Chains A and B, each alone.
Chain A
Amino acid sequence: MPSYSLTASESASLNGVEISALNHTLTGVKQVRIDETLGAGLVAAVRNLGCVAAKIVYLSITNSGTEPITALTVDAGIIDLPLAAGESLVVAGAATCAAFCAAWSAAATFEDLKITTVGAGAHLEVLVVETA
């Protein structure tokens, strides 16, 4: 079971993916990663993250492309989270991750990610780390 202790200005690699430090100890035993360029005119792509909200200790979402993502919803949640090119959101820590996921996901889980774009240049990176 890998254990990661990150302090300020440090980073580590979990299964080849770099995790930014947020002054946090991360013990990651499961990692979900989505890193792909989204096709033109994509209006509804559902990605199965397969995460359990109660176990999430680290979540990062970045649009590293050149076109905006107009909405990201999880589990048919009511909050649409837009991400313009280069925008990102990072949540670290069990309590804050649980609260964020509960607010964002209607089912209080964190499984199906629905992505809405208007162009071909959006590139979504999602990294989720769970504890055992």
Chain B
Amino acid sequence: MSLILTAAQSASVDGVATESSSQTITGTVQVRLDEELTASLAAEVKRVGATPANMRYFSMMNVGTVAFTAITVDGGTVDLPMGISDSITVAGASVCAAFAAAFSGAATFNDIKVTTPAGVPKCKLRVHILSNE
């Protein structure tokens, strides 16, 4: 599947709306995590399987009702907390690579480790990644 987004456009990839950021994105691979995480989750690893060199678009949002205390990637030392509705969107090859390198301990972008407060009923994380082949 090829996806081209320009300024002020959006599109649907496999039923998921992807917002543009004034960037032309040609995506052939989409990774989607969009799920409710269970209570008392202390450490859950989600396999993303993205290669930073091919990433063109990355977005992550806490769409639940409870804050994430930390999100780490590939054992990176930077903990990225996300309050309710907090989000980060990165569009473009070079800035995606820089972002992934900064937040990933292995300079890859594969395993997302999510930490939530113990005893909370539900957290929901939404991650979209578009990559070139």
- A residues near B (Cβ < 8 Å) are 20, 22-25, 62, 64, 68, 79-84, 86-100, 103-104
Contacts and interface: CB of A to CB of B under 8 A. Distances in A.
Contacts of B22: 62, 64, 86, 88
Interface residues of B, number: 30
Given A84-B93, A95-B67, A103-B78, A24 B87 contact: yes
Given A62-B21, A91-B87, A81 B82 contact: no
A26 to B, nearest CB: 10
Interface in B55-90: 61-63, 67, 78-83, 85-90
Contacts of A95: 67, 81-83, 86
A22 B95 contact: no
**Would you list the 4 A-B pairs with minimal beta carbon distance, nearest first?**
A87-B92, A93-B86, A95-B83, A96-B86
Interface in B10-37: 19, 21-24
B85 A84 contact: no
Contacts of B93: 84, 87
B109 interface: no
B89 A79 contact: no
Most buried by B among A23, A64, A98, A104: A23
A99 B21 contact: no
Nearest to B92: A87
Contacts of B67: 95
A99 B83 contact: no
Interface in B93-107: 93-95, 98-99, 102-103
A86 B83 contact: no
